[in-house]
Amino acid sequence: MTFFSPQTQTAIEFAADLFRQAKRAVVLTGAGLSTPSGIPDFRSEGTGLWSRDEPLEVASLNTFRIAPEKFFQWFRPLASQIFCAQPNPAHFALAELEQAGCIQTIITQNIDALHQKAGSKNVIEMHGTMLTLTCSQCYHQVDAASYLTLFVEKGEIPHCPKCGSVLKPDVILFGEQLPQSAWLHAQRDARQCDLMLVAGSSLEVLPVAGLPMQALDRGAHLIIVNNSPTYLNVRADVAIMENVADIIPAIAERALHG
């Protein structure tokens, strides 16, 4: 059992009360939700992926088109971590809240599909997914599982079974636009919600980082759970800077079971 300071316990209880009162709660999750599952985030000093690599050199659409082998060389360790990762208590707690009708939608910046593995159904993937690959030439789409197994274990770059061209993971690289349908859906839900929980996101990546402001501008309550402060902590009803894998389950337990 995790023990919290009196201040944190009060914040958890207040957040749970907001969930119980909400009619249309939406969750926005970022990389910090999956770090307890062993997947590194991108911006943490010293441990984030961008503290070691220049994103435009390894993870851009231009690099993938010109030198796909350079992209896949960088991508292989991350793909291995994602491929082996399992949902952590925060993922399961959010799935439980959704199943209980306390959450309408989960908007995620993550590509790891851990929300779905935990049982969440209504997930909007803003930055794509690792579950599928698409041919860079003929646009034939395939399930990623078998291709990623060979890629992770042997380093074999995936090729299209129809035309032989390189298959691209269906994740959003630098230089690519967000999927339009996902973005429109996310904006609609942010504007219609009466409560937004931001979990594990530093709110530094636009345009997704602007979604909580859209919710606030329409009168929604805001809960932020993240290890580091965000630009909206001062606007939040509740801001808890602690481990999401501890705090989110505690909020869910209090909201669902009192």
Catalytic pick from 91, 115, 127, 221?
A: 127
Q: What is the pLDDT of residue 148?
A: 87
CATH number of the CATH domain containing 153: 3.30.1600.10
Q: What is the pLDDT of residue 59?
A: 82
Residue 242: both structure tokens together: 């602690």
CA neighbor of 115 nearest in space, from 208, 199, 22, 174: 199
Q: What is the pLDDT of residue 48?
A: 42
113 and 215 together in one domain: yes
Q: Decide: residue 160, CB within 10 A, 0-12 exposed, 13-18 middle, 19+ buried.
A: buried
What is the pLDDT averaged over residues 211-240? 97
135 and 226 together in one domain: no
199 and 251 together in one domain: yes
User: What confidence tens digit (pLDDT) does each residue in 48-68 have?
Assistant: 444 455 565 778 899 999 999
137 and 234 together in one domain: no
Report the number of distinct structural domains present in the chain: 2
Q: How large a percentage of the chain has pLDDT more than 90?
A: 83
6 and 69 together in one domain: no
CATH number of the CATH domain containing 8: 3.40.50.1220
Q: What is the pLDDT of residue 50?
A: 40
Query: What's CA 248's distance to the chain center, in Å?
Result: 15
> How far is residue 4 from each of residues 12, 58, 182, 242, 243, measured CA to CA in Å?
9, 41, 37, 10, 11
Q: What is the pLDDT of residue 84?
A: 87
User: What confidence tens digit (pLDDT) does each residue in 119-147 have?
Assistant: 999 999 999 999 999 999 999 999 998 89
234 and 111 together in one domain: yes
Residue ranges making up the domain that contains 232: 1-39+86-127+177-258
Is the model's pLDDT at 173 over the cut of 90? Answer: yes
**Is 127 assigned a catalytic role?**
yes
Q: What is the pLDDT of residue 143?
A: 95
Which of 19-33, 40-54, 83-97 has the lowest average pLDDT?
Answer: 40-54
User: What confidence tens digit (pLDDT) does each residue in 68-126 have?
Assistant: 999 999 889 888 889 889 999 999 999 999 999 999 999 999 999 999 999 999 999 99
